[in-house]
Structure 1
Amino acid sequence: MIEVRDLQVRYGERLVADVPELDVREGECVAIVGESGSGKSTTLLSLLGLTEGAHVSGNIRVCGVEVLQAPERRLREIRGARVALVMQSPQAALSPTTRLGTLMRRALKLHGLGGDRVMVEAVEAVMLDPGILRRYPHEISGGQAQRFAIALAIALGAEVILADEPTSALDVTVQAEVVGVLRRLREERGLALLLVSHDLALVSTIADRVLVMKDGAVVESGPAAEVLAAPSHPYTRELLEALP
């Protein structure tokens, strides 16, 4: 679903992300971990051609599309419909004067889709009451906003979800709900998930493989169980030692 080789993202002379290899298969979860400023989110955004002002080189293939060679029109076709981006604070991207149902209906229409039944099934898939579609963004909690963003991806038929710190602003109970939804969608629908997080405890519960980034470079990668149980790089050990 995602195949990256020799990715480099530069702003001017500064190299902010250097990823030699990154693959995500159908039904798999790969996590990118590291401290703030390590290049995690930049790597994620580069997969959809959203690193405005940056020079991006290498090979990026997402759902069969060569991202760096594709025209903007082609990228707009896969954004949302095949690859969905779930940001850290989805409420900031929701119009405060528009009901959630109207927002979802507009997104579906942009991709030639529609139907209230699709919307209802999508919100129910993330354990939300369909009545939430009549609410405004300020009337829902952070956890509900995260699940609504995932429901939108489901309604659009996304095959890949790129999740950037999807639980960082949530309390522990709501974090568990969101992670449970993501895990179930992987198992039931075969969704591929690329998760960006600094929370190694969260990563250990859902990721199959892990990439550890520091100062824009990948310093360690491998199966999650091996990397988190017996890290080989000093920086990975520092991250683990910082866990409470």
Structure 2
Amino acid sequence: MIEVRDLQVRYGTRVVARVPELDVGAGECVAIVGESGSGKSTTLLSLLGLTEGADVSGHVSVCGVEVLQASPQQLRRIRGARVALVLQSPQAALSPTTRLGTLMRRALELHGITGPRGGGPETGGPETGGSAGSRKERSWKGRASKGGLERVMVEAVEAVMLDPEILRRYPHEISGGQAQRFAIALAIALGAEVILADEPTSALDVTVQAEVVGVLHGLREERGLALLIVSHDLALVSTIADRVLVMKDGEVVESGPAADVLTRPSHPYTRELLEALP
């Protein structure tokens, strides 16, 4: 779902992120960890062509689209519909005067999901091709859409353990954890095959963190979603990631299976991060 080779993001003469290799398959979770300013979020944004003003080179393929060569129209077609970006503070992206249900409905209609239809291109993607995980997701989406747009929305919020009643609320009437789950629900409703999550739990208390992590873990298991998570929280990463990349000063200093990196780190910086855990 994601394939990166020799990615380099540069602002002027300064290289802010350099990633030799990064792969994320369907149903897999990869985490990028490191301190603030290490290049984690820049790497994430570069996968959707969102590093405005930067000189980006290398090979970046997301859902079969060559991002660095794609036109703005091609990038708009995959953003949200196939690849969803879940930010650290999703409430900041929600209009405070608009109910959540209206926000979700507008997003679905913007991507061509407008009523009771079967699967296929009209509900967000082709019926053939792609990974087993993406086919499974599109199949679920097609079944949901037969009940109409409202049914798509209800099933999406239920998939992230939210009461459908939340669709009648305004953003200021929900908690941070609910906002995070609503952002994930929107990705599900759109039929996203990949979720890019930037510090998805950093602003949440411990119990709510566990809820959000549980939702993400369930989605990758049940729907075959590919997850790429950016975090400085190694405790969180240890509960969900299959593989880990450790970044420092824009460079990948260590990478490998999560069990190896987090229990037998080879780089001094990784050991420092682990020793800083409470």
The 5-angstrom pairing of residues 1-244 of structure 1 reads 1-114=1-114, 115-244=149-278
SS of 2:69's equivalent in the other structure is coil
Q: Tell me how far apart the structure 2 counterparts of residues 4 and 34 of structure 1 sit (CA, whole Å).
A: 19
Q: Deviations over 1:80-112 (max 9, x none)?
A: 000000000000000001000000001001110
Residue 43 of structure 1 aligns with an amino acid whose one-letter code is T
Task: Kindly state the Cα deviation for residue 43 of structure 1 after the two structures are TM-superposed.
Answer: 0.1
Residue 157 of structure 1 aligns with an amino acid whose one-letter code is G
Moved over 4 A (4+): none
Residue 45 of structure 1 aligns with an amino acid whose one-letter code is L
What TM-score do you get using the length of structure 2 for normalisation?
0.87
Task: Kindly state the Cα deviation for residue 56 of structure 1 after the two structures are TM-superposed.
Answer: 0.4
Q: What residue in structure 1 maps to residue 122 of structure 2?
A: none
SS of 1:68's equivalent in the other structure is helix
What TM-score do you get using the length of structure 1 for normalisation?
1.00
Task: Kindly state the Cα deviation for residue 148 of structure 1 after the two structures are TM-superposed.
Answer: 0.1
Q: Tell me how far apart the structure 1 counterparts of residues 167 and 175 of structure 2 sit (CA, whole Å).
A: 14
Q: What residue in structure 1 maps to residue 130 of structure 2?
A: none
Q: Tell me how far apart the structure 2 counterparts of residues 19 and 63 of structure 1 sit (CA, whole Å).
A: 19
Q: What count of residue pairs does the alignment treat as equivalent?
A: 244
Q: Deviations over 1:119-163 (max 9, x none)?
A: 000000000000100000000000000000000000000000000
| 5+ long unaligned stretches in structure 1 | none
Q: Tell me how far apart the structure 2 counterparts of residues 77 and 107 of structure 1 sit (CA, whole Å).
A: 13
Q: Tell me how far apart the structure 1 counterparts of residues 52 and 154 of structure 2 sit (CA, whole Å).
A: 35
SS of 2:49's equivalent in the other structure is coil
Q: Tell me how far apart the structure 1 counterparts of residues 10 and 102 of structure 2 sit (CA, whole Å).
A: 38
Task: Kindly state the Cα deviation for residue 10 of structure 1 after the two structures are TM-superposed.
Answer: 0.5
